[in-house]
Structure 1
């Protein structure tokens, strides 16, 4: 089974619906192979697709005018990602880049919207997906505002230990908002305590 279909099955369960015409999405799935450093999409470019990671690991980040990266999230196996602005036809506000050799499955968002226009079940599933995304975003915002870098690191390591092992230190540092040297100090203190 494909990662997209697995994700839709999980969404059906979460939303409490059975999605009709799922074969429309199945036919629209496009595999995308990425080597480390290659992009699923780039900031400033249109990209009206939803991706699900089949294998590998990607990072999503904003780039400022000086070229500095501000990492917003990571996507590993079975994790969906997209840029909401790009889904609505605007340029992507961030970049998605492969950290590891990766395969994603992408689906044109217009296909999903067309199904939502025809079926209440798809509308409910989309609403459920947006609500889940909103909860994730609010939690990340709260954490960035209220937790120290040490607390952010500890939470990430506890909640996502396998992922924490796969992410390069420079990227993990960018995710919690410190320099790589600062992260080395945090990791050392964390290991001394645990």
Structure 2
């Protein structure tokens, strides 16, 4: 195909599930490239956004913002990762969260309605769409389960095992926001992990 990260993602999907997606070239012609400086957003909470995004380079955080301005980080996305607001792309509401660049990032985007149109006339695209939404639901469910059942220390350990690239790359204040702890509390957990003894919480 090409150097587009979105097309590489589709190739992996085809390979993993034995799909042959038609009209990929037509989709490739609709891909847009955007550059984001730190603190610029791919989309803001409350905005209309029908786009699916794939990170080519850089690092972004997906965040909920409360009325008092406080922020809760739901996820991070890096090269090769896809992100979108399911409620917004399907027209059910405006975006329920923001996606903000932590560092200089290059992101590809395309309109979800292009995929819907392909799915209306193609069974492989229907399956691909179903698999994508299933994956998003699984990620959301696992995140909710972890927050309910794991301590902050256990959340940190799980992140260090499953996504070690975030531990050194994500600013500590953002990492603390993702784990639901203060930066001071996170520093204590990291210090105790280095020392080899568990921290409370």
How much has 1:16 moved relative to structure 2?
1.9
Aligned to 2:158: 155
Aligned to 1:66: 68
d(CA) in 1 for partners of 2:111 and 2:32?
A: 9
Structure showing greater relative contact order (alpha-carbon pairs closer than 8 Å, 6 or more residues apart): 1
Structure 1 residue 6 corresponds to structure 2 residue 8: yes
d(CA) in 2 for partners of 1:13 and 1:131?
A: 17
How much has 1:15 moved relative to structure 2?
2.7
Aligned to 2:20: 18
Task: Provide TM-score, normalisation by structure 2.
Answer: 0.94
Aligned to 1:113: 116
Q: Which runs of 4+ in 1 moved over 2 A?
A: none
Please say if residues 42 and 95 of structure 1, whose CA atoms lie closer than 8 Å, have aligned partners that are also in contact. Answer: yes
d(CA) in 1 for partners of 2:192 and 2:12?
A: 38
How much has 1:52 moved relative to structure 2?
0.3
Work out which of the residue numbers 69, 75, 78 in structure 1 matches 2:77: 75
Aligned to 2:90: 88
Q: Which runs of 5+ in 2 are unaligned?
A: none
Q: Which runs of 5+ in 1 are unaligned?
A: none
Corresponding residue SS for 1:152: helix
How much has 1:163 moved relative to structure 2?
2.0
Aligned to 1:42: 44
Please say if residues 52 and 81 of structure 1, whose CA atoms lie closer than 8 Å, have aligned partners that are also in contact. Answer: yes
How much has 1:135 moved relative to structure 2?
1.6
d(CA) in 2 for partners of 1:105 and 1:117?
A: 24
Please say if residues 40 and 97 of structure 1, whose CA atoms lie closer than 8 Å, have aligned partners that are also in contact. Answer: yes
Task: Provide TM-score, normalisation by structure 1.
Answer: 0.97
d(CA) in 2 for partners of 1:164 and 1:117?
A: 41
Q: How large is the Cα RMSD of the aligned pairs?
A: 1.0
**Stretch of structure 1 that moved more, 142-151 or 130-139:** 130-139
d(CA) in 1 for partners of 2:100 and 2:16?
A: 29
d(CA) in 1 for partners of 2:6 and 2:50?
A: 16
Aligned to 2:103: 100
Please say if residues 15 and 124 of structure 1, whose CA atoms lie closer than 8 Å, have aligned partners that are also in contact. Answer: no
